């Protein structure tokens, strides 16, 4: 069988292999020349480009008083948070009020607002208390910008012997886009409406 | 009674003047969302003349998204 097949094969007319090989070689050479010419045009027609990428940075700082003012030890005013990063961010704050001794120990008693200290929070300026006890600034803050005041004024009134009022203000910022970042990680954020945070309130 | 204190980084705080009794110390995980504490809370029974220590170990588990923190402590004098 194989012999017959070989015989049939040998009876066929020989193909013009050499001509086709030449045609293929000429076509390949033409393509190479064409691509070389294209590369040359691209190379000479485009100047060098340097792409600089700046990594995103999210950070914040607690500010108090008017710019340049110093704390007089009695009354704290205009407490706000600055977005010190290079991209829009959402900001929230936690306030811990305690009595502290000179060595930093915290007294077990809890200072009472309106009795041991007076505090005035800003109203309708974007800050909302969440069910978790933290304050949320519902609008995104541009890089370098400040939130509205969280605390307008805070003063100590009474303190137990050997202790002074301590007000610790912690601030936290997170990238504003995409909204999934803040929804997934800040517990009191229910959703983002446009660019405003919808906050879960206590008892809601 | 309920008292909230703030601790930054690997810091600690000592609370004095607590009456003898049973207490529960809880870490507010909603703030430090990148970290997972080794336990949700710790029960402590205070006895006279004996100090108690509660330690929470936190492991960084959330590596996504960009965020930043800042903290300021203000010590006040009383008016007058």
At A29, is the secondary structure helix, strand, or coil?
Answer: helix
pLDDT in tens, B50-76: 889 999 999 999 999 999 999 998 898
- Put simply, the answer to whether A98 touches B5 (Cβ < 8 Å) is yes
Higher pLDDT, A6 or A121: A121
pLDDT at B47 over 70: yes
Please give the pLDDT value at position A15: 59
pLDDT at A73 over 70: yes
Whole-number CA gyration radius for chain A: 36
List, in order, residues 6 or more apart from A54 with CB less than 8 Å away.
Answer: A86
Decide: A201 and A128 in contact? Cβ < 8 Å: yes
Q: Span A75-98, mean pLDDT?
A: 95
| pLDDT mean across residues, chain A | 85
pLDDT at A19 over 80: no
The alpha carbon of B59 is separated from its chain's Cα centroid by a whole number of angstroms, namely 15
Please give the pLDDT value at position A31: 60
Ramachandran angles phi, psi of A45, nearest 5°: -90, -10
Using 50, 70 and 90 to split pLDDT, how confident is the model at A10?
very low
Q: How far apart are the CA of A48 and the nearest CA of chain B, in angstroms?
A: 33
Q: Which of residues 23-52 of B touch A (CB under 8 A)?
A: 28, 30-31, 33
Give the span between the Cα atoms of B7 and A130, in whole angstroms.
Answer: 20
- Put simply, the answer to whether B65 touches A59 (Cβ < 8 Å) is no
| pLDDT mean across residues, chain B | 91
Give the span between the Cα atoms of B63 and A150, in whole angstroms.
Answer: 29
Residues of chain A found within 8 Å of residue B70, distances taken between Cβ atoms = 59-62, 81, 170-172
Q: Span A40-60, mean pLDDT?
A: 75
- Put simply, the answer to whether A132 touches B6 (Cβ < 8 Å) is no
Q: How far apart are the CA of A119 and the nearest CA of chain B, in angstroms?
A: 13
A157 touching B (Cβ < 8 Å): yes
Decide: B28 and A132 in contact? Cβ < 8 Å: yes
pLDDT at A8 over 60: no
Give the span between the Cα atoms of B38 and B56, in whole angstroms.
Answer: 6
Please give the pLDDT value at position A5: 46
pLDDT in tens, A101-117: 999 999 999 999 999 99
Q: Which residue of B has its CA nearest to A59?
A: B68
For A163, the token pair is 């202790």
Please give the pLDDT value at position B80: 55
Please give the pLDDT value at position A51: 82
Burial of A44: CB neighbours in 10 Å, binned 0-12, 13-18, 19+: exposed
pLDDT at B26 over 60: yes
Q: Compare CB distances from B5 to A85, A106, A132 and report the shortest one's residue.
A: A106
Please give the pLDDT value at position A1: 43
Residues of chain B found within 8 Å of residue A133, distances taken between Cβ atoms = 4, 28
Please give the pLDDT value at position A196: 96
pLDDT in tens, A132-188: 999 999 999 999 999 999 999 999 998 889 999 999 999 999 999 999 999 999 999
pLDDT in tens, A23-44: 777 777 766 655 555 655 555 5
List, in order, residues 6 or more apart from A190 with CB less than 8 Å away.
Answer: A183, A198, A199, A200
Give the span between the Cα atoms of A43 and B54, in whole angstroms.
Answer: 67
Q: What is the dihedral of CA A89, A147, A119, A190, to 10 degrees?
A: -40
Residues of chain A found within 8 Å of residue B62, distances taken between Cβ atoms = 185
Please give the pLDDT value at position A45: 55
Give the span between the Cα atoms of A195 and A184, in whole angstroms.
Answer: 15
- Put simply, the answer to whether B66 touches A85 (Cβ < 8 Å) is yes
Give the span between the Cα atoms of A96 and A202, in whole angstroms.
Answer: 18
Q: Span A196-201, mean pLDDT?
A: 96
User: Would you give the DSSP letter of residue A179?
Assistant: H
Other C-beta atoms within 10 Å of B5: how many? 14
The ipTM value here is 0.90
pLDDT at A12 over 60: no
The residues facing B31 across adjacent strands are none
Q: How far apart are the CA of B77 and the nearest CA of chain A, in angstroms?
A: 5
């Amino acid at each position: 069988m194989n012999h017959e097949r070989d015989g049939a094969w040998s009876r066929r007319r020989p193909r013009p292999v050499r001509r086709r090989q030449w045609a293929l070689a000429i076509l390949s050479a033409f393509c190479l020349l064409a691509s070389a010419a294209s590369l040359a045009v691209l190379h000479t027609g485009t100047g060098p480009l340097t792409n600089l990428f700046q990594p995103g940075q999210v950070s914040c700082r607690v500010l108090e008083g008017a710019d340049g003012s110093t704390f007089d030890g009695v009354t704290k005013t205009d407490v706000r948070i600055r977005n010190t990063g290079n991209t829009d961010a959402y900001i929230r704050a936690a306030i811990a009020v305690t009595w502290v001794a000179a060595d930093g120990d915290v007294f077990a008693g809890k200072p009472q607002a309106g009795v041991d200290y007076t505090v005035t929070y800003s109203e309708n300026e974007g800050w909302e208390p969440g069910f978790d006890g933290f304050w949320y600034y519902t609008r995104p803050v541009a890089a370098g910008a400040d939130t509205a005041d969280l605390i307008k004024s805070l003063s100590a009134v009474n303190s137990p012997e050997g202790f002074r009022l301590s007000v610790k203000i912690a601030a936290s910022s997170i990238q504003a886009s995409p909204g999934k970042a803040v929804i997934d990680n800040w517990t009191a954020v229910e959703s983002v409406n446009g660019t405003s945070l919808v906050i879960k309130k206590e008892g809601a | 009674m309920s008292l909230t204190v703030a601790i930054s980084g690997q810091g600690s705080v000592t609370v004095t003047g607590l009456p003898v009794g049973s207490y529960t110390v809880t870490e507010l995980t909603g703030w430090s969302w990148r970290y997972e504490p080794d336990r949700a809370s710790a029960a402590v029974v205070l006895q006279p003349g004996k100090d108690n220590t509660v330690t929470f170990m936190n492991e960084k588990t959330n590596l996504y998204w960009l965020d930043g923190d800042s903290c300021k402590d203000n010590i006040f004098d009383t008016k007058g």
